[in-house]
């Protein structure tokens, strides 16, 4: 008798008609075999799936080039199909589930013909933790199978844990014919199903990532009383050896990976890495928040990563254990067969192929690596991995950081007055768009808690859920806001960022212990410069002033845009946030 997983796989195979079915067990041998296949046999758009890189300098590393039209998340083709449009909310595209399934069946029928269907059993989180979610994804691309083995805990034990129960999350993925007209990423939260056709790109195809860990999980959290957030998790060790844990939400391609393994510019401080993208957060028996990373790898932006900006990541990428390291859409140095991207080295190597595999001509003015080119690497290789990364209980959280990319208006750091005010400030958060999603780059949009593209239900209800979480907590942690991206009038960054960001984290942690001093502004509490560690920092007094300024006279547009954004959610918007809005408006216009 077939069990529930087998039945589902059979059903999917009937629809997709693969040449054969390969059940993955997550072993090292299997990863090698899949890479071999991707180098020699399997093709995407007529080209190999993997190219072997220089195994001496980049052990176990491979290059993947995606279809040129398939290089970022496609938010306009991503749908969340609750049975009620109301529950899906204006923050998501919606289709009625039956209609969506009919549309998907049409483009899925026979889509795996001549290809292998890989069955990937994996668990999000430590299998013995209350956070654990057991999942099975099918895919017809070896790149996706190998990436999922890096990004999740994949093993055939998962099948034993699911046994004959129906209690597993399903992911159906096929690269289809790669035509954007037949590309759709559909979520069915009520059935714990993600169905994605026509894209091989990260967030569209590695379904454990945004689709399951955020869109499906945020809805589960809403129903079950926990939070699934777009947040890094770090431990900050002070010179005395005390470790405080923080979570931080920043939109895609705004430095989460760098922050999660920052090399401190302040002597005696050290960052321990637990996650660079996703945190599942629960209330512990002690009434505090506990966070855990459901993933097991990094899918980070390559351009800008170097020994100067993130030495730990370069070491991690070169560690070469039994997990392969994948590079997607980076450039290739043909003299050395090494991956390359803008700023990896100061000078351009002499002979490069660009991310599409064409000879690179610097005079073209084009980028050589795609701006959203990525690396995929196991967190187990991370040289700053926290000993509590795999702790089934997660880690207790001392403070929450939210942030965006804003060239003006918002200071380097500020603290909200209380939990509700923090939720309100998070709800009106804006950020300039990046290359992580298709569309124009650098356009300001509201991106509450960096969750706009990832919240799997009505965002008005999501804000209500945050408020409710604050009420259950004995002592809600303080909520802080950061902006590493403030610029001066000439467009130059005011703050050096990277290792210097430890100064901001230090102030934050001291505030959570009521040690450091702050000054009240209309939007929150900014550091009193007396309490902000500037020892050895080369930022002028006048730039420090600018970086902490609020530009009160320029808030009209901000308030207007926030108000319009809030209005979209109608009566789903909690009244507390309207009240907070009125208070802020009065202060600013006062």
Q: Which is nearer to ligand SAT, 289 or 436 (CB)?
A: 436
Interacting residues with Mn ion between 214 and 253 (CB under 5 A): 252
The residues that bridge with 194 in the sheet, in sequence order, are 171, 187
Interacting residues with ligand SAT between 232 and 261 (CB under 6 A): 252
Per CB under 6 A, the segment of 23-31, 202-210, 422-430, 439-447 that binds ligand SAT is 202-210
Q: Is 42 in the site for Mn ion (CB under 5 A)?
A: no
Total interface residues for Mn ion by CB under 5 A: 2
Site mask, Mn ion, residues 263-292, x = CB under 5 A?
A: --------------x---------------
Q: Least distance in Å: CB of 206 to ligand SAT?
A: 6
Is 111 an active-site residue?
no
Question: CA distances (Å), 369 to each of 59, 282, 331, 344, 347, in order?
Answer: 21, 39, 5, 11, 14
Q: Least distance in Å: CB of 288 to ligand SAT?
A: 28
Q: Which is nearer to Mn ion, 72 or 584 (CB)?
A: 72
Beta strands in 189-313 (DSSP E): 193-197, 227-229, 231-237, 243-249, 270-275, 279-283, 289-292, 297-301
Instruction: Tell me how far apart the alpha carbons of residues 330 and 340 are, in angstroms, rounded to a whole number.
Output: 6
- Of 24, 254, 312, 382, the catalytic one is 254
Instruction: Tell me how far apart the alpha carbons of residues 81 and 367 are, in angstroms, rounded to a whole number.
Output: 37
Cβ–Cβ < 8 Å for 79, 187? yes
Cβ–Cβ < 8 Å for 507, 516? yes
Among 67, 170, 210, 446, binds ligand SAT (CB under 6 A): 210
Cβ–Cβ < 8 Å for 104, 113? no
Distance of CA 345 to the CA centre of its chain: 26
Residue 305: enclosing H or E segment and its boundaries?
A: none
Q: Is 173 in the site for ligand SAT (CB under 6 A)?
A: no
Q: Are strands 51-52 and 61-64 parallel, antiparallel or unpaired?
A: antiparallel
Q: Is 370 in the site for ligand SAT (CB under 6 A)?
A: no
The residues that bridge with 26 in the sheet, in sequence order, are none
Question: CA distances (Å), 260 to each of 44, 189, 391, in order?
Answer: 33, 30, 18
Q: Is 73 in the site for ligand SAT (CB under 6 A)?
A: yes
Place of tokens 């259950």: 472
Among residues 347, 492, 523, which one has the least CA distance to residue 425?
A: 523
Total interface residues for ligand SAT by CB under 6 A: 8
The one of Mn ion, ligand SAT, none whose footprint includes residue 209, by CB under 5 to 8 A per kind, is ligand SAT
Cβ–Cβ < 8 Å for 300, 257? yes
Instruction: Tell me how far apart the alpha carbons of residues 114 and 136 are, in angstroms, rounded to a whole number.
Output: 22
Q: Are strands 297-301 and 374-378 parallel, antiparallel or unpaired?
A: antiparallel
Among 202, 448, 460, 477, binds ligand SAT (CB under 6 A): 202
Instruction: Tell me how far apart the alpha carbons of residues 57 and 243 are, in angstroms, rounded to a whole number.
Output: 34
Among 188, 290, 299, 555, binds ligand SAT (CB under 6 A): 299
Per CB under 6 A, the segment of 201-209, 335-343, 354-362, 491-499 that binds ligand SAT is 201-209
The one of Mn ion, ligand SAT, none whose footprint includes residue 183, by CB under 5 to 8 A per kind, is none
Q: Is 203 in the site for ligand SAT (CB under 6 A)?
A: yes
Site mask, ligand SAT, residues 407-446, x = CB under 6 A?
A: -----------------------------x----------
The one of ligand SAT, Mn ion, none whose footprint includes residue 101, by CB under 5 to 8 A per kind, is none
Q: Which is nearer to ligand SAT, 85 or 445 (CB)?
A: 445
Instruction: Tell me how far apart the alpha carbons of residues 528 and 483 are, in angstroms, rounded to a whole number.
Output: 17
Q: Which residues bind ligand SAT (CB under 6 A)?
A: 73, 202-203, 209-210, 252, 299, 436
Q: Which residues bind Mn ion (CB under 5 A)?
A: 252, 277
Q: Which residues are designated catalytic? A: 254
């Amino acid at each position: 008798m077939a069990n529930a997983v087998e039945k589902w796989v059979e059903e999917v195979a009937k629809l997709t008609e693969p040449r054969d079915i390969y059940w993955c067990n997550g072993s090292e041998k299997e990863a090698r075999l899949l890479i071999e296949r991707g180098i020699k046999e399997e093709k995407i758009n007529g080209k190999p799936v993997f190219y072997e890189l220089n195994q001496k300098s980049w052990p176990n590393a491979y290059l993947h080039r995606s279809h040129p039209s398939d290089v970022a998340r496609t938010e306009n083709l991503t749908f969340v199909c609750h049975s009620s449009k109301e529950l899906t909310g204006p923050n998501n595209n919606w289709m009625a589930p039956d209609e969506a399934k009919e549309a998907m069946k049409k483009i899925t029928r026979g889509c795996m013909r001549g290809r292998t269907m890989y069955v990937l059993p994996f668990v999000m989180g430590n299998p013995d933790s209350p956070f654990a979610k057991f999942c099975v994804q099918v895919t017809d691309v070896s790149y996706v199978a190998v990436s999922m083995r890096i990004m999740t805990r994949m093993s055939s034990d998962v099948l034993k844990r699911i046994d004959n129960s129906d209690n597993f999350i399903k992911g159906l993925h096929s690269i289809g014919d790669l035509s954007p007209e037949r590309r759709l990423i559909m979520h069915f939260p009520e059935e714990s199903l993600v169905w994605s056709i026509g894209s091989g790109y990260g967030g569209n195809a590695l379904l454990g990532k945004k689709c399951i860990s955020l869109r499906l999980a945020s809805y589960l959290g809403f129903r079950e009383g926990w939070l699934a957030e777009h947040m890094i998790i770090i431990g900050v060790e002070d010179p005395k050896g005390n470790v405080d844990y923080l979570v931080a939400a920043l939109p895609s391609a705004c430095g989460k990976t760098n922050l999660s393994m920052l090399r401190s510019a302040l002597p005696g401080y050290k960052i321990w890495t637990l996650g660079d993208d996703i945190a599942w957060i629960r209330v512990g028996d002690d009434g505090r928040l506990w966070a855990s990373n459901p993933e097991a790898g990094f899918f980070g932006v390559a351009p800008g990563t170097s020994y100067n900006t993130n030495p730990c990541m370069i070491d991690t990428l070169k560690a070469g254990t039994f997990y392969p390291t994948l590079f997607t859409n980076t450039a290739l140095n043909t003299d050395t067969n090494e991956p390359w991207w803008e700023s990896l080295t100061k000078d351009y190597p002499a002979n490069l192929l660009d991310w599409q595999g064409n000879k690179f001509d610097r005079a073209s003015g084009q980028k050589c690596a795609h701006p959203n080119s990525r690396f995929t690497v196991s967190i187990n290789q991370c040289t700053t991995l926290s000993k509590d990364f795999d702790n089934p209980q997660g880690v207790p959280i001392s403070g929450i950081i939210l942030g965006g990319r804003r060239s003006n208006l918002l200071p380097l750091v500020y603290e909200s007055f209380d939990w509700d005010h923090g939720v309100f400030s998070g709800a009106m958060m804006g950020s300039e768009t990046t290359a992580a999603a298709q569309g124009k780059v650098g356009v300001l949009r509201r991106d509450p808690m960096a969750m706009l593209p990832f919240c799997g239900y009505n965002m008005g209800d999501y804000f209500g859920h945050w408020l409710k979480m604050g009420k259950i907590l004995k002592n809600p942690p303080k909520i802080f806001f950061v902006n590493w991206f403030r610029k001066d009038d000439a467009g130059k960054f005011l703050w050096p960022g990277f290792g210097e960001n430890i100064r901001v984290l230090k102030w934050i942690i001291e505030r959570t212990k009521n040690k450091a001093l702050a000054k009240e502004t209309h939007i929150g509490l900014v550091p009193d410069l007396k309490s902000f560690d500037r020892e050895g920092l080369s930022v002028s007094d006048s730039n420090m002033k600018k970086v902490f300024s609020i530009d009160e006279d320029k808030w009209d547009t901000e308030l207007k845009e926030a108000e319009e954004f809030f209005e979209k959610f109608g009566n789903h918007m909690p009244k507390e946030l309207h009240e907070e809005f009125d208070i802020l408006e009065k202060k600013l216009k006062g």
